[in-house]
Amino acid sequence: MSQGSPAVVVAEDALLIREGICQLLVASGCTVLAAVPDADQLSSALETHIGEVDVVVLDIRMPPTHTDEGIRALEELRARGSTVGVLLLSMYASGSLAVRALSAGGATGYLLKDRVKDGTALADAVRTVAGGGSVVDPEVVTLLMSSTGRARGLEALTPKELEVLRLMAEGRSNLGIGRVLGISPKTVDTHVEHILDKLGIQPSEGENRRVLAVLELLRNRG
């Protein structure tokens, strides 16, 4: 991946939406290698461009059943050992689908299609996933954070730490979190370390601790 220009394959069955996504990505500096309408053609495209793809932008509901083909395609990729980044697009906010997506492992994002209208938001999410990070749509995070009751497993976190975790779930860097909260990146780093310690997430080779923390949030609030 050249700096700031991830190579993308788009899988979306609706022609106009597929073309719109491609146009937004290209306008934002991404390279679109292929655009396909279903999971079968996605597999062919990934074989054609093996070793070139940084991110797959993938509709959750595709032919033939329009249920969870996108999620299953992600799970099959991970089962085959693929580490390509995957950004899933959905019409609806679903905490359970977001959990399932991130639980598949690897660099993964879950974005509402309404967010795709903002080319910058789409491209930022693609770049975050291409860089090995995770992204959950702010609307999904807000929905989960507003659920009643204290989430089991998160009781030890302070209100500030919960806010930091919410922004982590949106895919923001420590610098970005600091800008939103008006605190220094060093202070954010301290909060993040406290969050990881309180959640019992220890350093582990091959695992992104921030993604594991976000999964803890989604599982307990879903």
Asked if 11 and 80 sit in the same domain, the reply is: yes
Residue reference for tokens 């923001």 = 172
- Full residue range of the structural domain in which residue 164 is found: 147-221
Pairing of strands 85-90, 108-112: parallel
Q: How far apart are CA 131 and CA 112, in angstroms?
A: 20
Tell which of 82, 101, 136 closes a domain.
Answer: 136
Asked if 169 and 130 sit in the same domain, the reply is: no
In a domain, 142, yes or no: no
For 151-208, how does the pLDDT look when each residue is reduced to its tens digit (9 = 90+)? Answer: 556 788 999 999 999 899 888 889 999 999 999 999 999 999 999 888 888 776 445 7
Tell which of 136, 158, 188 closes a domain.
Answer: 136
Asked if 163 and 212 sit in the same domain, the reply is: yes
Tell which of 100, 116, 136 closes a domain.
Answer: 136
Estimate the crossing angle of helix 95-103 against helix 209-221, to 10 degrees: 150
pLDDT band at 150 (very low <50, low <70, confident <90, very high): very low
In a domain, 47, yes or no: yes
Q: How far apart are CA 209 and CA 186, in angstroms?
A: 18
Asked if 95 and 191 sit in the same domain, the reply is: no
For 55-86, how does the pLDDT look when each residue is reduced to its tens digit (9 = 90+)? Answer: 999 999 999 999 899 999 999 999 999 999 99
CA count, 13 A, side-chain hemisphere, 207? 14
Question: What is the pLDDT, as a whole number, of residue 153?
Answer: 64
pLDDT band at 1 (very low <50, low <70, confident <90, very high): low
Share above pLDDT 90 across residues of the chain, in percent, rounded to a whole number: 58
Asked if 101 and 173 sit in the same domain, the reply is: no
Asked if 162 and 190 sit in the same domain, the reply is: yes
Starting at the edge strand found earlier in the chain, the sheet holding 7-11 runs 31-36, 7-11, 55-59, 85-90, 108-112, 135-136
In a domain, 141, yes or no: no
Question: To the nearest whole number, what is the mean pLDDT of the chain?
Answer: 88
Asked if 93 and 35 sit in the same domain, the reply is: yes
Number of domains in the chain: 2
Q: Which amino acid is at 128?
A: T
In a domain, 177, yes or no: yes
Phi/psi at 141 (5° precision): -60, -45
In a domain, 215, yes or no: yes
Residue reference for tokens 């089962």 = 79
131 touches 107 (CB < 8 A) = yes
